[in-house]
Amino acid sequence: MIKQLVMATNNANKLREAREILSPLGIEVLSQREAGANCDPEENGATFAENALIKARAVYEAVKLPTVADDSGLCVAALDGRPGVYSARYAPEGQHCAKLLDEMKDVPTDKRGAAFVCSIAFIDENGENYGVSGRCSGSIGYEQRGTNGFGYDPVFMVGEKSMAELTADEKNAISHRGAALRELYKYLKERYGE
């Protein structure tokens, strides 16, 4: 059994989600700062999975503890999957939703499908890696709605509500990151569980 793993992020939301979902395993989840890793590698992979592995590998090499990293983004069908791995860099801070609504302004309702995607890379105590992923399907709305969450949540519709109108628990239950973390939980439980 491993006692600790490092989450290759300092993002408080991601840490909280990982701690909530993985806590039944009895593994302590440390942030990269708590583990003493100070790295911010260039995320130049072509896929979410490659970028997750780049982040996990950088932290693992710094601390030599089992490490988990995630990479995620929004894929919009009408934009041929963009912004995809460029989701964070798509627009200046605070302007992502407005830019996306503008790009989508002439797209009809039945062509506004989109999905949040999350890949997670796990590097074990021997330096071997294992990957899982999760997905959340929805559509792009016509205006920003709600104040919860972050990033594209105000324009990502799941049924009648935007992701930013859901509580944190409601979002975790359906989100791409929640789905990927639950896959990781299953893998770790099978491998390390009593």
Q: How far apart are CA 144 and CA 158, in angstroms?
A: 13
Return the H-helix or E-strand segment holding 145.
none
Regarding 178 and contact with ligand IMP (CB under 6 A), the answer is no
Segment near ligand IMP (CB under 6 A); pick from 22-30, 107-115, 121-129, 149-157: 149-157
Query: How many Cβ atoms from other residues are within 10 Å of residue 101's Cβ?
Result: 16
Regarding 71 and contact with ligand IMP (CB under 6 A), the answer is yes
Regarding 32 and contact with ligand IMP (CB under 6 A), the answer is no
Regarding 86 and contact with ligand IMP (CB under 6 A), the answer is no
Regarding 72 and contact with ligand IMP (CB under 6 A), the answer is yes
Regarding 174 and contact with ligand IMP (CB under 6 A), the answer is no
Answer yes or no: are the C-beta atoms of 142 and 157 closer than 8 Å: no
**Residue from the set 3, 64, 150, 191 that interacts with ligand IMP by CB under 6 A:** 150
String of DSSP letters for 76-137: EGGGTT-BGGGGGGSSSTT-HHHHHHHHTTT--GGG-EEEEEEEEEEE-TTS-EEEEEEEEE
User: One-letter amino acid identity for 94?
Assistant: G
**Residue from the set 66, 138, 141, 149 that interacts with ligand IMP by CB under 6 A:** 149
Q: Is 71 a catalytic residue?
A: yes
User: What does the binding site for ligand IMP look like in residue numbers (CB under 6 A)?
Assistant: 70-74, 87-88, 96, 116, 149-153, 175
